[in-house]
């Protein structure tokens, strides 16, 4: 793939005219996909694809577009020529862009991660073994993803990461299932087997008659998967410079009214531990780690190149969306084997969904429980709960009512495979929370 990228860059440079400049973004993957149903392989296939994006620049005017690359060099060159000609026509008529900022450094980087990942056949066998005697349904995606960046200034960046994610459920009956995932760049039989056994231990409680509790405050435990839904909502403008300057951030009270979260809460954009490329589309490098919230206090915004110019703030390698793509939260002191004991009496929540802001200005969210949610008494799972709706602020959930976070954290890679495999990831603990408000 790297050879294909370099060949495309050479052809682009040979096609420029006059004062034209360019940036180019290359994205590709060689992925194996396997779907499972009833603990058997139902669909298997491989995808090899590559895309090239070009931003043609002439002064402060520019136009961007992309093309799909194939296996034939002549066909690829013809597609690039067609794209450049189209962009050249557009550049002649578009207005100047006052917020165009391109990295003018000629410094180049090459990063390759995940070399030790087992072959897909081994991963498939592990999933089949986990499903023996159970009704397993899910999807496995694995293999390398590639990214490249080049510019007229001589910068050449290359990124390659071999990763996997296994997203599966142990289905019981009707609407009852235990949903679990395992993901990363390094495979561990022990970690995967522990995930399997933990999920399998929830199947028997699902067979019990469900109960309903009255709406109101409850002590809850949010698994890392459930907490991901909360932090994912925070990514909707919570950390972006643009949202902060326009006062649309849901964390506005932390910035303007000195609101704080619990001192246990530290959230980072940690490119070093994620699976996303180490650079963004304008060629700016992503720092290894950016503290966003530290010990409960807001620290930094994610700043894209456009926001950097508009608000006269140094760019820190954020994507145009200014949302985290490699979010990490520090762990606490709660041990995995003590979770039920510390929960004592309350609700174990495996997953949440249908989340939205019920009051964005105060970072209030609403959503519903999903999959394996259980009523717990005296540290023992009693029965599955009927679906419930919550309505809570982050300042209560991760602030005054946060009891502890787990020591162990879980890597969750975004399982989105529309168009291509996602490289978004989170590394999160579980959270024990008091007085979590349920409304229905």
pLDDT of residue 431: 98
At residue 75, the pLDDT reads 94
Cα(404)–Cα(432) distance, rounded to whole angstroms? 5
Q: Are residues 122 and 65 in the same domain?
A: yes
Which domain, by its residues, includes 318?
208-438
Rounded Cα gap, residues 190 and 398, in angstroms: 31
CB half-sphere exposure, 173, CA atoms < 13 A: 7
For the cut 80, the answer to whether the pLDDT of residue 251 exceeds it is yes
Return the DSSP state at 103.
-
Give the pLDDT score at 117: 83
Same domain, 250 and 126: no
Instruction: List the structure tokens of 46.
Output: 């491989």
Per-residue pLDDT at 116:
72
- CA 225/CA 229 separation, integer angstroms: 7
Q: What is the pTM of this model?
A: 0.93
Model confidence at 118, pLDDT cuts 50, 70, 90, reads confident
Spatial separation of the C-alpha atoms in residues 431 and 153, rounded to whole Å: 47
Sign of CA dihedral 305, 309, 310, 314: positive
Cβ contact 312:291 at 8 Å: no
210-226 pLDDT tens trace: 999 999 999 999 999 99
Give the number of other Cβ atoms within 10 Å of residue 297's Cβ: 15
Predicted confidence at residue 175, as pLDDT, reads 82
* Tokens of residue 61, six digits: 């005017």
Domain C-terminal end among 172, 203, 234: 203
How do 402-405 and 389-393 pair as beta strands?
A: unpaired
Which tokens hold the place of 175? 């609407």
pLDDT > 70: percent of the chain: 100
Residue 419's pLDDT is 87
Same domain, 198 and 232: no
For residues 190 and 268, state if they share a domain: no
> Do 43 and 185 sit in the same domain of this protein?
yes
What 3-state DSSP class applies to 14?
helix
Residue the block writes with tokens 């293999």: 143
E-strand stretches of 223-359? 267-269, 290-294, 297-298, 326-329, 346-359
Give the per-residue pLDDT at 2.
Answer: 94
- Which residue among 173, 203, 233 closes a domain? 203
Pick the range with the lowest mean pLDDT from 63-67, 148-152, 170-174.
Answer: 170-174
Closest to 36 (Cα-Cα) out of 108, 159, 184, 141: 141
Examine the domain organization and report whether 182 and 213 are in the same domain: no
pLDDT at 115 over 80: no
pLDDT of residue 114: 75
Based on the fold, state whether residues 237 and 155 are members of the same structural domain.
Answer: no
Average pLDDT over residues 29-47: 95
**What CA–CA distance (Å, rounded) separates 231 from 223?**
12
125, 202, 262, 376, 384 from 208: Cα distances, Å: 31, 11, 36, 13, 7
Number of domains in the chain: 2
Q: For 167-212, write each residue's pLDDT tens digit.
A: 999 998 888 899 999 999 889 999 999 999 999 999 999 999 999 9
333: closest CA among 431, 261, 405?
A: 405
pLDDT at 414 over 80: yes
Give residue-wise pLDDT tens across range 297-331.
Answer: 999 999 999 999 999 999 999 999 999 999 999 99
Residue 108 and residue 53 share a domain: yes
SS3 assignment, position 240: strand
pLDDT above 90 as % of the chain: 91
Q: 90-99 pLDDT, tens per residue? A: 999 999 999 9
pLDDT value at position 11?
A: 97
DSSP string of 205-231?
A: HHTSPPB---SEEEEEEE-HHHHHHHH
In this structure, the answer to whether residues 313 and 195 fall within a common structural domain is no
Same domain, 108 and 161: yes
Q: Is the pLDDT of residue 340 over 80?
A: yes
In this structure, of 114-118, 132-136, 342-346, 355-359, the range with the lowest mean pLDDT score is 114-118
* pLDDT, averaged across the chain: 94
Question: 164, 152, 43, 51: which is closest to 103 by C-alpha?
Answer: 152
Instruction: Give strand pairing partners of 65.
Output: 54
Strands 156-173 and 109-113: parallel
Residues 152 and 224 in one domain: no
CATH code of 115's domain: 3.30.2290.10
Same domain assignment for residues 193 and 243: no
Last residue of a domain, one of 203, 232, 248: 203
């Amino acid at each position: 793939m790297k050879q294909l990228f370099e060949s495309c860059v050479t052809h682009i440079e040979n096609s420029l005219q006059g004062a034209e400049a360019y940036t180019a973004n290359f994205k590709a993957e060689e992925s194996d996909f396997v779907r499972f149903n009833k603990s058997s392989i139902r669909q298997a296939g491989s995808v090899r694809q590559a895309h090239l994006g070009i931003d043609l620049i002439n002064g402060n005017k520019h136009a961007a577009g992309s093309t799909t690359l194939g296996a034939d060099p002549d066909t690829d060159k013809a597609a690039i020529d067609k794209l450049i000609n189209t962009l050249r026509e557009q550049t002649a008529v578009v207005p100047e862009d006052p917020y165009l900022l391109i990295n003018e450094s000629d410094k180049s980087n090459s990063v390759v991660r995940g070399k030790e990942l087992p072959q897909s056949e081994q991963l498939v066998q592990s999933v089949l073994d986990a499903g023996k005697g159970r009704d397993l349904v899910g999807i496995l995606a694995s293999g390398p993803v590639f990214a490249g960046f080049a510019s007229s200034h001589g910068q050449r960046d290359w990124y390659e990461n071999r990763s996997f994610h296994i997203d599966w459920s142990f289905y019981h009956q009707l609407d009852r299932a235990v949903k679990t995932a395992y993901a990363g760049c390094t495979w561990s039989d022990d970690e995967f087997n522990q995930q399997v056994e933990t999920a399998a231990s929830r199947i028997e409680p699902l067979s019990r008659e469900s109960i309903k509790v009255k709406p109101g405050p409850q002590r809850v435990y949010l698994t890392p998967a459930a907490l991901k839904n909360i932090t994912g909502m925070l990514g909707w403008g919570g950390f972006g410079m643009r949202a902060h300057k326009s006062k649309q951030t849901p964390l506005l009270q932390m910035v303007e009214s000195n609101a704080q979260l619990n001192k246990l809460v530290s959230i980072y954009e940690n490119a070093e531990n994620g699976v996303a490329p180490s650079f963004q589309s304008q060629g700016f490098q992503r720092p290894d780690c950016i503290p966003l919230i530290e010990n409960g206090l807001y620290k930094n915004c994610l700043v894209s190149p456009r926001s950097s110019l508009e608000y006269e703030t140094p760019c820190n390698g954020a994507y145009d969306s200014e949302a985290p793509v490699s979010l990490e939260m520090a762990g606490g002191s709660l041990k995995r084997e003590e979770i039920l004991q510390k929960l004592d009496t309350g609700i174990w929540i495996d997953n949440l969904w249908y989340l939205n802001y019920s009051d964005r200005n105060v970072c209030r969210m609403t959503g519903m429980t999903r999959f394996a949610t259980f009523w717990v008494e005296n540290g023992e799972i009693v029965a599955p709960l009927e679906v419930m709706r919550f309505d809570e602020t982050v300042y209560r959930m991760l602030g005054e009512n946060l009891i502890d976070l787990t020591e162990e954290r879980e890597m969750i890679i975004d399982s989105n495979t529309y168009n291509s495999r996602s490289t978004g990831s989170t590394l999160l603990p579980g959270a024990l929370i008091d007085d979590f408000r349920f409304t229905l």
